[in-house]
């Protein structure tokens, strides 16, 4: 579906010859002399690379239709993750490479929104934060109350985050899925 550069919005997905791109930022510019143009910042859906492009005003670009499906992570099957569609109950095997960094925050039974372009998964929407159990870390000692001091902790999904000294193995912590940082004890 062709869309005019005058109709661009943040979050819109475009199908350009270089690949699938998300509009991060756009700005309409009308100089005193010459024609108007649109300055954009685009993020590649597959690689995450950000590029800047300038288009003439009212130039036509191809908009990609992204289908978002709510799915539940069931279990791991070797290196693959098995998801179930919450509407049709169909199961889908997804490779670790397709999920990217999102795999670090998924545990069995969690819901995620998978973004499809045709039959290809191009992204994963997770909640802003998730609760995960600490599987391994050095035990906290009496007196370890130094403000801002951190230690590494391995979580149940294998993700390693920096946590305060008072966090012990077996405790549940909240982790930000966008930055991968410790937020608070759960």
Task: Write down the pTM of the prediction.
Answer: 0.75
Does residue 83 contact residue 73 with C-beta atoms inside 8 Å? yes
Angle at 99 between CA 94 and CA 102, to 5 degrees: 135
Total length of the chain: 186
* SS3 call for 118: coil
Sign of the alpha-carbon dihedral angle for 72, 76, 132, 177: negative
In the chain, what are the domains? 2-62 (2.30.30.30), 67-125 (2.40.50.140), 129-185 (2.40.50.140)
The model's pLDDT over 111-129, given as tens digits with 9 standing for 90+, comes to 999 988 888 888 888 888 9
Confidence of residue 71 (pLDDT cuts 50, 70, 90): very high
Q: Which residues does residue 67 pair with via DSSP β-bridges, in sequence order? A: 116
Distance CA 102, CA 45 (A): 14
Bigger pLDDT: 165 vs 27: 27
Distance CA 61, CA 6 (A): 10
């Amino acid at each position: 579906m062709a869309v005019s550069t005058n109709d661009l919005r943040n979050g819109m997905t475009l199908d350009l010859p270089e690949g699938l791109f998300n509009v991060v930022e756009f700005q309409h510019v009308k100089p005193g002399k010459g024609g108007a143009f649109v300055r954009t910042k685009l993020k590649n859906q597959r690689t995450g690379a950000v590029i800047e492009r300038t288009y003439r005003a009212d130039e036509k670009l191809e908009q990609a239709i992204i289908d978002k499906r709510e799915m539940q992570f069931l279990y791991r099957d070797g290196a693959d993750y098995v998801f179930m569609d919450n509407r049709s109950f169909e199961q889908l095997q997804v490779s670790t490479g397709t999920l990217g960094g999102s795999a670090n925050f998924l545990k069995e039974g969690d819901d995620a929104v998978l973004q499809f372009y045709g039959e290809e998964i191009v992204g994963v929407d997770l909640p802003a934060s998730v609760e995960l159990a600490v599987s391994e870390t050095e035990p906290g000692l009496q007196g370890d109350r130094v403000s801002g001091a951190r230690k590494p902790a391995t979580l149940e999904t294998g993700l390693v985050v920096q946590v305060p000294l008072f966090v012990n193995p077996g405790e549940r912590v909240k982790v930000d899925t966008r930055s991968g940082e410790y937020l608070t004890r759960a």
